[in-house]
Amino acid sequence: MKVLVTGASGMLGGGVAQQLAARGDEVTVFQRRPSSLIGVREVTGDVTDPTSVRKAVEGMDAVVHLAAKVNVTGPWAEYAAVNIDGVRNLLGALRETGVPRLVHVSSPSVAHHGHALVGAGAGPADPERARGNYARSKAAGEQLALAADGPDLAVVAIRPHLVWGPGDTQLVGRIVQRAREGRLPLVGSGAALIDTTYVDNAVDATIAALDRIETARGEALVVTNGEPRPVEEIFARLCLSAGVAAPTRHVPFGVAWLAGAAVEGVWALGKRRDDPPLTRFLAEQLATAHWFDQSHTRAVLDWTPAVGLEEGFERMRQWYAA
């Protein structure tokens, strides 16, 4: 099968591309910068450019779409250009070229309204109630993608939650760096239960969605390890893997939320491009339970996680040790 993977410079996208190539698929990757992946065809371009998107999808049997603006802060126009208009450009190219399958990689944040999620299902994407520019734009993009499911194009949305693993510069890299600098407080009690997803499991689930798209089409499916743990434990185990002291300082949620609002204001006034140390959304995520019922996802995809959290933490320790 000829498969295009967009956003393959990221950890999850690169993993999907490499796994597809390893099993014998003819893989093309599409992103703004060369990915240096082995065994794949490289096409550089931007999802905001309809011409380059059409050129990339030409002749494909399927597309796995991961390209997105994922920064914590930034102007709405930048998120909309990539996460909404980029999806619109991709869908237009798929219609013009007749590509019949699309796996759209989304996020559980598209249906998170700031309240605790305890054994929750996927829930509908809601741009009006999602928290922050990233979540709102991804919600709108997912709605576009799923609305395109029809006789000539099968679409499924996959929502991997808090993906981590060796080499991760986003979630793990930031946690470890801030813990090393003494800038990683626990918001609230640290007891809120959260789901995470080891990267190999997220890769396998994404590929399962491609293989079972006729069964899963039209659906949004949250993907996690299905092993919710307290935030404090997740932080401690990741820090331990890296040989860094775990955080012990607690900050009340109200204080963290107000601090996040203030930091967002400073970043906006200064038009800063780097990620801030705290935002209101991050404070909510660290203080609020969010874990998901995985029974439907696993039944539809005929998939179960191959790597448990304990094995994942050990792999992280080995990676840091090396």
The phi and psi torsions of 158 (rounded to 5 degrees) equal -115, 135
Question: Residue 117's Cα: distance from chain center in Å?
Answer: 18
> Is the Cα torsion angle 167, 279, 275, 277 positive or negative in sign?
negative
Residue 30 · residue 67 · CB < 8 Å: yes
Length of the chain: 322
Catalytic residue, from 79, 134, 198, 320: name it.
134
Residue 165 · residue 311 · CB < 8 Å: no
Whether 134 is catalytic: yes
Rounded Cα distance, 111 and 113, in Å: 6
Residue type, 291: W
Single out the residue of 54, 4, 14, 64 nearest to residue 34, CA to CA.
14
b or e along 94-109 (b: 16 or more beta carbons within 10 Å of the residue's beta carbon)? beeeebebbbbbbbbb
Single out the residue of 109, 3, 89 nearest to residue 49, CA to CA.
89
Integer Rg of the chain from CA: 19
Single out the residue of 237, 239, 231, 223 nearest to residue 289, CA to CA.
231
Rounded Cα distance, 219 and 226, in Å: 19
Residue 281 tokens read as 């959304």
Query: Tokens 């963290």 identify what position?
Result: 256
Residues classed as catalytic = 134
